[in-house]
Amino acid sequence: MDTIATKTGPSVSFRTVIVSIVVLWAVYFILASIRWEIIGLGHSGEMMRLRSIVTIGGIAVTLVLWSLLRLFDGKAIWVQATAALLLAMPAALLSAQINNYIFYEMNTKFATMFEEDARGDDGSQMANPVDGERGTERTERASTDMDLIGEPERDGRGEGAVDREFGVVGFIGPLAEIAFSRYFMMLAWCAIYYAMVAISKARIAERREQEFRSAAKAAELRSLRYQVNPHFLFNTLNSLSALVMTGKAERAERMIQTISRFYRHSLADDPTTDVRLDDEFDLQKLYLDIESVRFPERLRCEFDLPEDLADARVPGMILQPLVENSVKYAVSPVNRTVTITLSAREEFDRLVVTVSDDGPGVPEGSAHGFGIGLANVRDRLEARFGQDITLDSGPIPGGYKTEMRIPLTRNG
């Protein structure tokens, strides 16, 4: 259903209104046509033409009714119901008046025909009860058709002529009868219209709720992402200070240049958006280049990224805390070469990314998970993907491994 939201409240599009009105009157047209054929009084072509005019008039009247009803779109439901009950009355009367005006000549024609059936050729009342009953039956059948105004009134002289002037006696009764049926038609459409307005309100509320959720999620992602940057900067500045204090100016200068490239790369993306997996791997290569200045003999890196997973999407800098933990707890405490491995693979339409090392594992006195780093990764993954993630971290034979499983999404 096509709906639009305005500054004054929800409303239903004009296209939807037109469709609903046309459908309502098309149903009337079809039912009235079928009923006339069942009665079998003939003149089907002429009746269908007149009925088409009445249908067009009914559509116009209903459009006027809609133009008034829409003024109450944003009101309370009891106000809308009251407006529908009151405004449907003049609309029904106008529709009935159109019906009577269009079918006036046809009513006259049928009334004359019924009077002739009830009399003999010489103008006297027929004595044959069968014929008389037949004439009465045809009159009653015709008077039940919703197109006609009912059985014509006789004048005061006892003759069967139709009141040609549509006087009060011959007009009010049939008009009221048709207006009553039209009233329920108009009320039915009013109910349909306000149901569409209610659906529009629900959709607007749902859309706003989704916008609020998206804004909250974006704020959460930014907050978690910005936790990573200060933590990383603190570690790298400490490393840089150590190089300067030990007189290793050339290595300190190379480290500064690499840090500059790292931040240019990491800050280029919106912290709430995902990045390509190959870009995330490149970012971690820069970080490990920075750390290799501190540990030129102890740090070794390996990267295993299949080409078909290069465009897989992951949250930016999601691997940073995991790689930092490997440097801090695997490379820094030992005097031997330690290999840090970053790898990715696909399993059952899920992306599996692993950060592992062959260091000493969990250091003594440290809480499993290495504090804020792993918790930050888990919180970011849950904020991005909900509960549809798995993050496992723990010692393995000959080292330590952290593995995350997330839905596999592609670039674009």
Angle of CA points 327, 252, 287, to nearest 5°: 35
Are residues 195 and 269 located together in one domain of the fold?
Answer: no
Are residues 263 and 143 located together in one domain of the fold?
Answer: no
Classify residue 127: in a domain, yes or no.
yes
Are residues 330 and 275 located together in one domain of the fold?
Answer: yes
Closest CA to 381 of 214, 221, 218: 221
Classify residue 88: in a domain, yes or no.
yes
Higher pLDDT among residues 270 and 62, named by residue: 62
The amino acid that residue 234 corresponds to is F
- Across the chain, mean pLDDT equals 77
* Neighbouring residues of 169: CB distance < 8 A, sequence distance ≥ 6: 153, 163
Mean pLDDT confidence for 207-216: 71
- pLDDT in the model for residue 151: 38
Closest CA to 262 of 299, 228, 227: 228
Are residues 257 and 316 located together in one domain of the fold?
Answer: yes
Give me the numbers of helices (H) and strands (E) for the chain, helices first please: 10, 9
Residue 9 CB neighbours (<10 A): 14
Classify residue 115: in a domain, yes or no.
yes
* Neighbouring residues of 336: CB distance < 8 A, sequence distance ≥ 6: 298
Give the range among 69-73, 176-180, 288-292, 331-335 with minimum mean pLDDT: 176-180
- Would you say residue 343 has pLDDT above 90? yes
Are residues 92 and 37 located together in one domain of the fold?
Answer: yes
- pLDDT in the model for residue 350: 94
Length of the chain: 412
Task: Note whether 301 and 339 are within 8 A (CB).
Answer: yes
Closest CA to 259 of 274, 243, 275: 243
Higher pLDDT among residues 221 and 300, named by residue: 300
Q: Considering its fold, how many domains does the chain have in total?
A: 2
What pairs with residue 274 in β-bridges? 315
Mean pLDDT confidence for 197-202: 84
Classify residue 232: in a domain, yes or no.
no
Are residues 128 and 271 located together in one domain of the fold?
Answer: no
Classify residue 48: in a domain, yes or no.
yes
Give the range among 263-272, 346-355, 394-403 with minimum mean pLDDT: 263-272
Higher pLDDT among residues 227 and 137, named by residue: 227
The CA–CA distances, whole Å, from 12 to 4, 9, 59, 186, 203 equal: 6, 10, 17, 17, 12
Are residues 270 and 172 located together in one domain of the fold?
Answer: no
Give the range among 40-54, 68-82, 210-224, 346-360 with minimum mean pLDDT: 210-224
Q: Give the structural domain span for 33.
A: 3-208
- pLDDT in the model for residue 220: 58
Are residues 133 and 277 located together in one domain of the fold?
Answer: no
Classify residue 7: in a domain, yes or no.
yes
- Would you say residue 140 has pLDDT above 50? no
Radius of gyration of the chain (CA): 42
Which tokens hold the place of 265? 């790369």
Q: What CA–CA distance (Å, rounded) separates 272 from 316? A: 8
Looking at 158, 181, 208, which one is the last position of a domain? 208
Which tokens hold the place of 384? 């991005």
- Would you say residue 266 has pLDDT above 50? yes
- pLDDT in the model for residue 169: 37
- pLDDT in the model for residue 400: 93
Are residues 166 and 262 located together in one domain of the fold?
Answer: no
Classify residue 47: in a domain, yes or no.
yes
Render pLDDT for 86-131 as a digit per residue (tens, 0 to 9).
999 999 999 888 888 888 888 777 777 766 665 555 554 443 333 3
- pLDDT in the model for residue 86: 92
- pLDDT in the model for residue 170: 44
Are residues 93 and 181 located together in one domain of the fold?
Answer: yes
Classify residue 303: in a domain, yes or no.
yes
Are residues 258 and 199 located together in one domain of the fold?
Answer: no
CATH at 258: 3.30.565.10
Are residues 394 and 268 located together in one domain of the fold?
Answer: yes
Higher pLDDT among residues 58 and 41, named by residue: 58
User: What end-to-end distance do the CA atoms of the chain give, in Å?
Assistant: 29
